[in-house]
Structure 1
């Protein structure tokens, strides 16, 4: 009993309560990143907009989220932890309430709502990691970051399945009937966010040291324009292709130029807005690159695979989401275990093992047909997500492990920014490869009139060629990460010299 009392000391209880509230609130917020993907057709009908217009609900979320992540380093340093988290929750609640009540004659209100939700997500993702690094000792850091993996990995994966289930029909819960329409997607998370907000008022504490740092307006403008244009360009690839100068090439080039100037400016500042000097640490650079490759491998396939199951296999949005759900649950199961392994062995062996799993489970997707059993797809996806779980948070823990405590906020912001850009880039690459290969192999329109059956068969083959190439590219990313993982330090690293402990 004495040992149990020691473990459940008031300090530990406060830590657990804070992390629980932070993880639940973050899960609810990050869930919205992918939840609307399944609901876009329903929203097109409700708001009477076309596919290009409704896609902005996803695009604006990615853009605003990516813009906010670099700003989070300043906010974490300047604003007390409790008030920053409560502010993020409040912004999210307002955005979700606007979306839930938006009249179908005002699509612009939905865009405002999504922007507010994305602002909250851009704050809580880095904040969650910085708080975990602060609350727990270095020896328990892996377990804490593994728990965070439940949120960062599972929330985007579960989002499409949850929204598909909500849209599938009416559901009864505790005597209440709900679901069957797009508003319920927002309605189901709103009460939970309000409860977390109320509890956080009493249980959340200020755990991060704050400083009176002046906001560099030039850095803020350059960061907003640079990352905003870059993410906009990547987001437009799926609709306009890589050949579009106005929507893709120009925004990416101008965005990259502004970011280059932003980086140059940061290197000449005594107290940078976003400290890119952390990239001078070799191990931080390698681990951040590997985390980015993890997200490319994870989110890219998460986007392509449901499209294959719906367009080629003819599955509903709900059924395609349920096919991938076991993979999300597998990631939730493995993430805390991977965190414990990191505390004992470091990231190198976990990364090599994890990326080997991801590579071996992605290559078979190259051979998918229109008759491939769903169980086969689900099993491979479970192996992939287990591999992702063995890499993502251990690598993030390793990246933060080589930095000093004072660099945690900046390092987390840099790591998350790189991850956000990689996710957008990976999705753009896989989507564009899939579309371009399918278009190149599509039969001529004349065959459709002459022999509809032959046209249909060749059209399916062309579509499959696009998916096959996309999956092959994803496997190459995973293989590149597997090779790069061998350059990591063995064992755990420390801030002073990055050498194994």
Structure 2
């Protein structure tokens, strides 16, 4: 329920400790979201310990993203049907089970399926906790503080995935002593450390997490549930196969993507026909919600467009280790974590339009130089430029996310959050597939012949680097283009801070802006 500044009440009208509840949600969800990107630097280690191929090891990330993506639309139904405290208790229990399974799976090739099962269970839980946290934040903070609340949420959705590779690389580099404890270099530690945090959050959730969302007994529409899982699952699976199979593969890329689109269209058509939809896609009829959601997608695609390619550039061109390449990006990730709550609080004063325009402009200006980096560009320059980019990302993403939640009635928050998170997940999958394929095609088309390798090895190596740089430049140019589209979209956003439907702040205005 919406809160005033004077008191914070649960659905039974009883006061509760909002700070303690938010801390439990942030810590637990952060540990879960960390699992999205934590295995990127651990793939070689998993290949060695489980005696599996690269493609098989990559499934640890692929299946996580798939399971996480298909749960986003389902989260709206779950948060409407199940009490928020119970739902968090279940989600944290699943996180505990999933991480424990992955952490303690025997390192044998015939036990790889158990490792994947743990990853899928973890992803299902994260697919619930991440959007649920946004809905809870909207309901337990008053209108004037929602920007700051969503800024706290931004620490989780922005910082956790960004520091995942750096943290894993640091763990795998060697043994570390931290607060008197020896942290092993084993890949298991990647899961054991967050597992400890999750267990603590799980226990605390019974005491500090309260029922703050209105629920109602609605019947599960089985057909909508199946269409949702099948449509988004097959669609995302098709895009995850692009990196290994290419756009021309009919069986694993083209067919799944086309089939997924068809099923998603059927899913949307069914929701529009239902009196009580499984996920209310009518939220997209609100112009401001649609604009801000698409703008958030552009932010994600611009961010990932560079974030994904930079480690490869640093490792292949500069010869950095996975840990060193992660450390180059770490200041930017930390800056985003610092800026997320600041940008959110700024929304409470001036709204999303000006902040998002400034954010996208900073993002565009700091992305442009990446289109011209060379094999000798200093690492310090890359670090600084990337940090400025993440500053721009935070400036744009947090106000846009807050506004997308504020332009709709509180009773539609769950559907809005599910739609917003699903759009963001789809954007992430699409841009990864797009940039991977485009970069690889350009490198392939520009690389020298094998005959040159034998005739002139030095020239061959130089030409290979030139071909790689052309691929990187194009991928960075695409990231720049997304930021330009973001600027254009931001121009159509309403000025000022939006007063949610039904809320009073001097006047009751249905989704209109506050001057």
Aligned residue among 258, 267, 271 for 1:253? 258
Mapped partners of 1:12, 1:415: distance in 2: 30
Partner of 1:404: 409
Closer, same or farther: CA 495–178 of 1 in aligned 2, 3 Å: closer
Mapped partners of 1:460, 1:375: distance in 2: 21
Partner of 1:500: 513
Partner of 2:84: 81
SS at match of 1:163: helix
Preserved contact between residue 350 and residue 394 of structure 1 (Cα < 8 Å)? yes
Residue 69 in structure 1 maps to residue 72 in structure 2: yes
Mapped partners of 1:172, 1:407: distance in 2: 48
Give deviations 1:110-138, integer Å, cap 9, x for gaps.
11011011101100111110000000011
Residue 168 in structure 1 maps to residue 173 in structure 2: yes
Give deviations 1:35-86, integer Å, cap 9, x for gaps.
0001011101111111111111111011100100100000000111111111
SS at match of 2:183: strand
Residue 360 in structure 1 maps to residue 373 in structure 2: no
Partner of 2:128: 123
Gaps of 5+ in 2: 502-509
SS at match of 2:37: helix
Give deviations 1:283-311, integer Å, cap 9, x for gaps.
00000000111111112322111111111
SS at match of 1:290: helix
Aligned residue among 30, 37, 40 for 1:37? 40
Query: Residue 29 of structure 1: CA displacement?
Result: 0.2
SS at match of 1:55: helix
Partner of 2:193: 188
Mapped partners of 2:363, 2:35: distance in 1: 26
Point out the more displaced range, 257-266 or 165-174.
Answer: 165-174
Mapped partners of 1:482, 1:377: distance in 2: 23
Q: How does 1:325-340 map to 2 (within 5 A)?
A: 325-340=330-345
Partner of 1:348: 353
Preserved contact between residue 8 and residue 18 of structure 2 (Cα < 8 Å)? no
Closer, same or farther: CA 89–439 of 1 in aligned 2, 3 Å: same
Query: Residue 8 of structure 1: CA displacement?
Result: 11
Residue 442 in structure 1 maps to residue 484 in structure 2: no
| Cα RMSD for the two superposed structures | 1.6
Mapped partners of 1:322, 1:438: distance in 2: 26
Partner of 1:56: 59
Residue 221 in structure 1 maps to residue 226 in structure 2: yes
Structure-1-length-normalised TM-score: 0.97
Partner of 1:208: 213
SS at match of 1:188: helix
Number of aligned residue pairs: 497
Mapped partners of 2:393, 2:135: distance in 1: 21
Preserved contact between residue 334 and residue 386 of structure 1 (Cα < 8 Å)? yes
Partner of 2:504: none
Mapped partners of 1:329, 1:478: distance in 2: 21
Query: Residue 495 of structure 1: CA displacement?
Result: 3.9
Aligned residue among 471, 474, 478 for 1:469? 474
Preserved contact between residue 283 and residue 289 of structure 2 (Cα < 8 Å)? yes
Structure-2-length-normalised TM-score: 0.94
**After the TM superposition, which parts of structure 1 deviate over 6 Å for at least 4 consecutive aligned residues?**
5-13
Closer, same or farther: CA 7–258 of 1 in aligned 2, 3 Å: closer
Query: Residue 499 of structure 1: CA displacement?
Result: 2.5
Mapped partners of 2:513, 2:85: distance in 1: 35
Point out the more displaced range, 330-339 or 26-35.
Answer: 330-339
Mapped partners of 2:274, 2:168: distance in 1: 45
Query: Residue 6 of structure 1: CA displacement?
Result: 7.3
Mapped partners of 1:163, 1:373: distance in 2: 24
Preserved contact between residue 78 and residue 212 of structure 1 (Cα < 8 Å)? yes
Preserved contact between residue 430 and residue 474 of structure 1 (Cα < 8 Å)? no
Residue 177 in structure 1 maps to residue 182 in structure 2: yes
Mapped partners of 1:458, 1:148: distance in 2: 45
Closer, same or farther: CA 475–392 of 1 in aligned 2, 3 Å: same
SS at match of 1:172: strand
Residue 483 in structure 1 maps to residue 488 in structure 2: yes
Closer, same or farther: CA 316–124 of 1 in aligned 2, 3 Å: same
Query: Residue 442 of structure 1: CA displacement?
Result: 0.7
Partner of 1:393: 398
Partner of 1:158: 163
Mapped partners of 1:68, 1:287: distance in 2: 22
Residue 455 in structure 1 maps to residue 474 in structure 2: no
SS at match of 1:35: coil
Q: How does 1:172-321 map to 2 (within 5 A)?
A: 172-321=177-326
Residue 376 in structure 1 maps to residue 381 in structure 2: yes
